[in-house]
Every structure is written in structure tokens, then in C-alpha cells.
Amino acid sequence: ELTINHGTLTYNANTVIDFTATTPTMTETLTGDVSFTTTNRVAGRAISVRLIAGASIRTLTFPGTWKFFGSAAPATLAANKEAVLTVTAFGANEADVRAAYAAEP
């Protein structure tokens, strides 16, 4: 039986996703706008973050070097909606991060 731990990211306007985190899935409840970066990038590691917007629309900002697949980098998350952001490191630099994003309609 495979057990995957799930973690919580405490909201921070500058959220840092740590690729050495012991939990490959996390939830962050947004109480304001957010800008994402990563740290401790390890090639082959992926982290999925469930984002919860709360009662207000949230502005999302990502490093310009990330490449998004499936859709363009989102600019906002609508009020009372959830989304999943998955980031995968293909090297040790921020420019080596690839992302996929999907939000509730």
C-alpha cells in the first residue's frame, strides 16, 4: 500500500514551493494575491498544490522563466474556486521548472 503524505502551505504573498518537501501534494488557501517561486530544485521531482481562492478573486504571478503546459500561465483564480498547480523540476534552476495548471470552471 502506497501512502502519500499531504501537506499545507501557509499563505504568504510570496509563496516558495520547496522541491525537497516531504509531501508531494499540498494545499494553500489564498487570503490575498500570490507570487510563486521555487527552491531546492531537484531534477525529476514534482509537487502539486491545490489552491483555494476563498471569497475574492486572487491575482497569481509566476516566474517568467517557467514554461506552462496545457494552458498559458494563469493571471487570476476566480472567487470561491479551486485550482491545481503542478510544478516539475527538470534541473537545478528556476528556468528548468515546467508547470501545468487547471482550475474549476
Q: Residue 7 has what pLDDT?
A: 86
Q: Residue 48 has what pLDDT?
A: 96
Q: Residue 11 has what pLDDT?
A: 92
What is the value of pTM for the model shown? 0.92
Using an 8 Å Cβ cutoff, are 21 and 41 in contact? no
Angstrom distance (rounded) from CA 24 to CA 75: 24
Average pLDDT per block of 10 residues along the chain, 105 residues long: 72 94 91 96 95 96 96 96 97 97 96
Using an 8 Å Cβ cutoff, are 44 and 97 in contact? no
